[in-house]
Structure 1
Amino acid sequence: MDSLSINSLLEDLKNPNASVREKATKKLWRIWFQQKGIHGLEKIDQSQKLLDAGKTTESESLLTQLIQEQPDFAEAWNRRAFLYYSVGKYKESLADCQMVIQINPVHFGALHGMGLCYAAIGQYLDAIKAFKRALTIQPYSLVNQKLILECTLRLS
């Protein structure tokens, strides 16, 4: 998909109409998951099935192999960041989220993930910054607004 279409979808994330925002969000996720074609998508699906089955080591290995094969596949990094976060490896998750943002600076999911990681390790100011960056892309995100308030309360 060309950058004009992506820019249009990013603009739709700022639309007051919730339906427009929801469609744009789904389309962006689809683009990100399909960035490397069917091979990348199949590997990500396979890793998620392993994770769902409690096979985190196998899931991590699969994602790491995919990242080695395709280091510019942002969603492979993002899925591994999610895996790390889900098992409490917050610093590893944060590092992967930062890679996602290097590859795809508008990846609101990775920015949200960065905020969650920072909050989990008690770095609330950094968490707030990450959630605010996510809000510049998705200004109507209630979850990020709520998390900013929660982190702000923890600072006081």
Structure 2
Amino acid sequence: MRIAIILALVAGPVWAETCPQARDISVELSALFEEARTASDPASGQAVSGKMWELWLDAPDDAAQEILDRGMAQRASFDFVGALESFDTLIAYCPDYAEGYNQRAFVHFLSSNYSDALIDLDRALTLSPDHVGAQSGRALTLMNQGKITAARTQMLAAIDNNPWLSERALLADGAPLGPVGEEL
């Protein structure tokens, strides 16, 4: 019922056509991963991270971009109900666009709905296996579920793609995903 209402609200401009295939950004991302791995300082690494996000946040068409931007603005203003509705609409319109799932997962995570966050993160990673944001988001979600070994493994995969993630601090000695020490 909720989806039907959402579809009715956006039926005009969005549903006049189908969502185009998301642009293949794999070659650009591979180059950015290598650039991140060889960045010499945090400022350079963060600049590369920003370029990655520009690629992921570039929706397949103007209608999808408008929905994505609206959902992100709603999330930023803590309108999680509105953000979920927007991301539901985006996913219904562009079911093969990984960022729709990643953004909806973030709202689920912020709402402590970790099971639904993992479902969306898994779908985002199926569509975009090297999506660093989805990888680190999945690691944080697993960590919040107490699945530390799986969270550590997932975070290491994200850090391999982008060693400048702020979440890398979670892998330090004594941090929640840090190496397991010797038991007394």
| TM-score, length of structure 2 as denominator length | 0.75
Instruction: Give the SS at the match of 2:177.
Output: helix
Deviation at 1:65, TM superposition (A): 1.4
Higher RCO, 1 vs 2 (CA within 8 Å, ≥6 residues apart): 2
Gaps of 5+ in 1: none
Structure 1 letter corresponding to 2:34: E
Instruction: Give the SS at the match of 1:85.
Output: helix
2:35 aligns with one of 4, 12, 21: 12
Deviation at 1:2, TM superposition (A): 5.5
Q: Once the two structures are aligned, what percentage of the paired residues are identical?
A: 21
Q: Which has the larger helix fraction?
A: 1
User: How much is the aligned-residue C-alpha RMSD, in angstroms?
Assistant: 2.2
Structure 1 letter corresponding to 2:28: S
Instruction: Give the SS at the match of 2:39.
Output: coil
Gaps of 5+ in 2: 1-23
The structure whose Rg is larger is 2
For the pair 1:150 / 2:173, whether they are aligned, the reply is no
For the pair 1:70 / 2:99, whether they are aligned, the reply is no
Return the alpha-carbon distance in structure 1 between the equivalents of residues 180 and 66 of structure 2. 41
Deviation at 1:42, TM superposition (A): 1.6
| TM-score, length of structure 1 as denominator length | 0.87
Contact 1:94-1:114 at 8 Å conserved across structures: yes
For the pair 1:24 / 2:48, whether they are aligned, the reply is yes
1:56 aligns with one of 55, 74, 80: 80
Runs of 4 or more off by more than 6 Å in structure 1?
Answer: 153-156
Structure 2 letter corresponding to 1:16: A
Structure-1 residue corresponding to 2:105: 81
Which piece of structure 1 moves more, 23-32 or 47-56? 47-56
Judged with a 3 Å threshold, the aligned counterparts in structure 2 of structure 1 residues 56 and 153 are, in CA distance, closer, same or farther, namely: same
Return the alpha-carbon distance in structure 1 between the equivalents of residues 75 and 49 of structure 2. 24
Return the alpha-carbon distance in structure 2 between the equivalents of residues 151 and 10 of structure 1. 22
Return the alpha-carbon distance in structure 1 between the equivalents of residues 27 and 158 of structure 2. 21
* C-alpha distance after superposition, 1:109-142 (max 9, x if no partner): 1111011111111111111111011111113435
